[in-house]
Amino acid sequence: MPRVGVFGWGVVAPRAATIEEFERRLGSTDHWLSPFSGFGLSNFLVGEPKFDFGAYQGWVDARFPPGRFPQLVEKMDLPTQYAIGAFIQALGQNPGLEAELAALGAQAHVYVGTGLGALDTVRHAALDLHRSQRRWFRFWAQPERNEALRRHLAGEDAAAGADSPPPPPESVPEEERDDAAYAWWEYWAARSDQLHQYLAELREIEGLGVQGEVESGKLGLIKEKQRRRKRLDAAWGAPPAPWGEVSPNLVWNLHNTPAAQISMLGRITGLAFAPVAACSTFGVALRLAMDAIARGDAKAVVLGATDPPPLDLVVGAFYGARVVAADGAVSKPMTALRGTHVAGGAVIWIVGDLEHFRARGCRPLGMEPLAVGVSSDADHIITPSKEGPMTAIRQALAAAGVGPGGIGSWDLHATATPGDYLEVENLRELLPDQVLVTARKGTFGHGMGAGGGWELTAQYLGYEKGRLFPTPLEESELNPEIARVHRRFQFDTGCAPPPGVAGKLSMGIGGINACVISRPWR
């Protein structure tokens, strides 16, 4: 069984634009959160990524034609840009890493997932479409363009039942008029005789086909159709059709786009796809990478997770799910259990066959990943079960060849919700009381996909430096009920790593669990 090492890593996190800044900040007990402005004034704190994509332009310009970087800026949303930035950082950790990934051909893979996807792109596309659709319906629902409406207003039709029009907007209560106006316009626009005529003319334009040589003919056809559509809209005085107002960026930013862009920028020709496992995404990606290397399918895998910055959609959804803190104060795991804080960013690792990369002069980073256990609760969408996480832990320990007494430290999922108590209680059924427990979502918040990767990277960096980083948790703040179950936590002072291996548990929405067991490099 080949051993696996981490040979590159990069981070985009709240108040930390690079892996180096991430490591420096871990030495402080300060949190990395900031007030959320997405609702105007509110009481939410979030983890806003520190990031400037322009910092990576020189790297891209040195390898690709001048138009490539502007294309990435224009077409790629922030989760993809975060992942690209973290990947470029990771390449810099070992000389020759970039060339080796390209030289490996199909034996270099990319597994980069996301917890939330391109929500900001989806949100803007949906809002643009909604506004355009309203303008469109309103235009064709005016009496001067709509004979059916003119007859209705003159009392010349007698539609009834399912085909009867909705009530006029002015006839409903004021708080319902916005929706009533939309329903009114939509109904009458569908009956506009002039819209039918417009669509007939548009069909002729869209029915034009490619003539002559395909590539040059394709470009000419696109331009010709665009010119004719503009003339058609000008002739009718019509607003742009709603189907022409949706940005194609919605298509360019699928869940697999970060992985695809990394494969293109790194010239990596092996398998590239997006594992999606909510908060367990990073652990699941690491498991898939280690399996691929063990099977001999890959010598190296670029893996990781990336998420959008905190959005009003996400903060509101977390609030509705009753798992986010909303009182303007930092909510630390193991304390008042008031909820977590939404955060965004990315984390990318480059892992590979230890013998292969050492032979090429590469130095492994952090710790040695021994095994990843994965499981599903098959129970509840958000409340963790007991048996699901325990299954992942037992599986990981067995695969690593480690007994419970061999664990020195353990990093919790710990979201500062009542689930923290159950997680600690379950852990103590398996592990002894001398285990040192860490929990870091009080530091940088909860990145849906990236959070587990940040936490694992912090664990690896601490072991590499020979000193575990402090957390914001003060001993006096420890929840009394949790303190009855376990008292040895990493508080607001650093300490030497205890003897033994380290564990890390992530529990994702939907009941997806991933447990990583790692050991210090000898």
Band of residue 353 on the pLDDT scale cut at 50, 70, 90: very high
Determine which of 35-44, 106-115, 158-167, 198-207 has the lowest per-residue pLDDT on average. Answer: 158-167
pLDDT in tens, 277-287: 999 999 999 99
Residue ranges and CATH numbers for the domains of the chain are: 4-118+253-520 (3.40.47.10), 123-244 (no CATH)
Task: Name the residue with tokens 């103590």.
Answer: 428
Write out the E strands in 388-468.
407-411, 436-438, 446-447
Instruction: Give residue 162's pLDDT.
Output: 53
Band of residue 156 on the pLDDT scale cut at 50, 70, 90: confident
CA dihedral sign of residues 474, 480, 481, 487: positive
Band of residue 158 on the pLDDT scale cut at 50, 70, 90: low
pLDDT in tens, 96-127: 999 999 999 999 999 999 989 999 999 999 99
Q: Are 141 and 149 in contact (CB under 8 A)?
A: yes
pLDDT in tens, 328-339: 999 999 999 999
Work out the percent of the chain whose per-residue pLDDT is above 70.
99
pLDDT in tens, 289-330: 999 999 999 999 999 999 999 999 999 999 999 999 999 999
Band of residue 383 on the pLDDT scale cut at 50, 70, 90: confident
| Residue 150 CB burial class (10 angstroms; 0-12, 13-18, ≥19) | middle
Answer whether residue 159 shows pLDDT above 60.
Answer: no
Q: 164-188 burial, b if ≥16 CB within 10 A, otherwise e?
A: eebeebeebeeeeeeebbbbbbbbb
Answer whether residue 161 shows pLDDT above 60.
Answer: no
Mean pLDDT of the chain: 95
Q: Are 474 and 491 in contact (CB under 8 A)?
A: yes
Question: Which DSSP helix (H) or strand (E) runs through 111?
Answer: strand 108-114
**Strand, coil or helix: what is 365?**
strand
Structure tokens at 329: 């104060």
Structure tokens at 309: 């910055």
pLDDT in tens, 478-506: 999 999 999 999 999 989 999 999 999 99
Structure tokens at 431: 């592990």
The 10 Å Cβ neighbour count of residue 19 is 24
Q: What is the DSSP letter of 332?
A: -
